[in-house]
Structure 1
Amino acid sequence: MKIAVFFVGEVRDAGFNASALAGADVATAEGLAEISIISGVRYDQDAIRARLAEVVPEVDGLVFIGGQGNITTPEIAAQYPGKKFAIVQGQKTGPNLASYDVLQEDSAFLAGALAARLTQSGTVGHLSGHRVPPGLKGRAAFVAGARQANPDIQVLTGFCGTQDDRTVTKAWAAAEISAGADIIFTMLNDARSGAIEACREGRARQIGNAMDWVEVDPEVFIASAIARIDLGVKGAIKDMVAGIIPDTPVHLGLAQGDFASLSMGGDVLDVHKEYIAKIAQDIRNGTCTVPNTYDGPEFQP
């Protein structure tokens, strides 16, 4: 079976896309399907539609990576009822369309709780790029986790409009630091490097997402909200090959297994690690609910 895995933006972004690519690579190595990688597509719905129109006729199935696919994938799935489609981080389903949602918000909630416990200034930050559902849910969860740990915490939250422009993210992160944030949770792709530079210059700490940034740069990263997007991609491909099309979105979070976690640096005290472990268990057993909406103020630099 020929399956295209479709990426918006750069695929080796040291973030969300890179984690998804790892899942596609594992599926290829295990011989699940003949997999091709489509990447570098601009974050523009017309550009996405045009590229999909080129790719879909050549394959048997397509896995769209990212919440951007909630708009265009159902459209093209309806045009090609004989082919199979899936969205990873999606919410749309259909006769030939499945969605798999790795619950990044579970680990974002843990990130918020840790940030609130560790801040010295009483102010923490959140910075993301595009307003897609996974990013919006991640922001809501981070704020909620922070407020559960400290109801008086101040959270500066913003979407800068880009996942890949490091100049923009550096300016936004620096502005949040200037406004008092000493820990910033970033949900970014290639542009994370700008936020890293701002944190290094401003002597702030950062909590990353998707992959384990603590291993990459422990000087800047106090923690990282890990989301196993790779497992979501592999699962989508495996189901597609087997002809399985779930009629509701498949949620993959703490309650379903080790799809989300919070990596913490060696300088995080055991008392904080134990606190985070207790919250994670509460999410698993359903006694802690992670919200997915936020209607509070937003930071502008």
Structure 2
Amino acid sequence: MRRITRITTVGIASAALALSATACGKSSTDSGSSSSTDSKTTKAAIAYDIGGRGDQSFNDAAYAGLKKAEDELGVKGAEAEPSEGEGDADKVQRLTALARAGNNPVIGVGFAYAPAIEKVAKAYPKTTFGLIDDTSKTGPNIANLVFNEEQGSYLAGVAAAKASKTGTVGFIGGVEVPLIKKFEAGFAQGVKDTNPKAKVLVQYLTQPPNFDGFSKPDLGKAAAEGQLDKGADVIYAAAGLAGSGSIEAAATAGKWAIGVDSDQYNQAGLASYKAKILTSVTKDVSDSVFNLIKSVKDGKPQTGEIRYGLATDGVGLSDSNPEYKKMTDLIAAVDKAKKDIVDGKITVKTAP
């Protein structure tokens, strides 16, 4: 079984040693320096966001990209988990340990890594750093891997409006930050453009600096139950691991849930509820991770803003649920909306 290194506030040297001993569950003779025992082997690492691997969503999508690089490129991967209640200093230590261990690229999963990556990238100018979901920190060795979440969420809004029988749908955001507001904005616009009379219930689980809204399923479940009580029969949650709670609540009530980041219909941890996962807004986090690793391995590392949008299938809407595939009117509306966005006929808002 793959072991995941958990780096907290232990010394950087010991953290690097721990990584070299446990990365990907394989033994290694790396000394923790920037050199590798096999100079031909690319070593790549991802540092997970809140919730860690196993969230059935954002982090798992990043892991899938690393796993693909291991399988297809022969890359040696390493992973590092966050600690509850950690700050920027902890992230700096984690990223430093990964870079010092010879990993290149080192990828921070989520905007919370922005300040740490800015600092560590300057200390390791020959290492490429990937920063997912943030463009605020840039540098010659930083690749900003970003997505048009609002576009995929617009399609989810179209689907929700078409699937709803009550005319009331819900949006649950994990933490009220600008990134998640993009999901809300696109979703609400898609709903209203499809059914101007529809009602969109909006709730955020926590406010920064409290980021529990990305990690605690009970919060998502309670919020969804509240929206169900108010008549919502389709609920879309952009809340990381906490979103699994909203899926549970909606499915248990026999209503529709819309997943996020990964195709949650196909996530093993949500198998009990998959029949009621109508669709998911997908972000190609997996390929963004894979593409960055491949670019470094090929000697042409990506830098600057690397954007994934609807036109390139960098975001989209999944159609795995057989019940979804039967909804011909819904599919036609979603397909038309996608074409109109790509053609520039619809401009999707990035803020509510």
TM-score w.r.t. length of structure 2: 0.76
Residue type of the alignment partner of 2:282: I
The corresponding residue for 1:297 is none
1:136 and 2:194 correspond: no
1:199 and 2:250 correspond: yes
Check the 8 A contact 2:143/2:305 in 1, yes or no: yes
The corresponding residue for 2:117 is 73
RMSD of aligned alpha carbons: 2.2
Equivalent position to 2:62, from 12, 20, 39 = 20
**2-side partners of 1:180 and 1:206: how far apart?**
14
The corresponding residue for 1:282 is 340
Residue type of the alignment partner of 1:210: D
**Any gaps of 5 or more consecutive residues in structure 1?**
295-301
Residue type of the alignment partner of 1:34: K
* Displacement of 1:108: 1.2
Higher relative contact order structure (alpha carbons within 8 Å, sequence separation ≥ 6)? 1
* Displacement of 1:279: 0.8
* Displacement of 1:6: 1.1
Alignment of 1:1-301 (within 5 A): 1-8=42-49, 9-31=51-73, 33-42=75-84, 44-46=86-88, 47-61=90-104, 62-91=106-135, 92-161=137-206, 162-215=213-266, 216=271, 217-246=273-302, 248-257=304-313, 259-263=315-319, 265-268=321-324, 269-294=327-352
* Displacement of 1:43: 5.9
Bigger radius of gyration among the two = 2
- Range 257-266 or range 75-84, more displaced: 257-266
Check the 8 A contact 1:228/1:259 in 2, yes or no: yes
Check the 8 A contact 1:226/1:263 in 2, yes or no: no
For 1:39-83, what per-residue CA distance to the aligned partner results, in whole angstroms no more than 9, with x for missing partners?
244464333233223333222431111222223211221232232
**2-side partners of 1:137 and 1:80: how far apart?**
32
Residue type of the alignment partner of 2:305: P
For 1:173-200, what per-residue CA distance to the aligned partner results, in whole angstroms no more than 9, with x for missing partners?
1111122211100123333332133213
Check the 8 A contact 2:58/2:240 in 1, yes or no: yes
Q: Percent identity?
A: 26
Q: For this pair of structures, how many residues does the alignment match?
A: 294
* SS in structure 1 of the partner of residue 280 of structure 2: strand
- Relative to structure 1, the CA distance from residue 156 to residue 36 in structure 2 (aligned partners, 3 Å threshold; closer, same or farther) is same
Residue type of the alignment partner of 1:36: A
**Any gaps of 5 or more consecutive residues in structure 2?**
1-41, 207-212
Residue type of the alignment partner of 1:7: Y
Check the 8 A contact 1:67/1:133 in 2, yes or no: no
The corresponding residue for 1:298 is none
* Displacement of 1:142: 0.9
* Displacement of 1:243: 4.3
Residue type of the alignment partner of 2:72: E
* SS in structure 2 of the partner of residue 68 of structure 1: helix
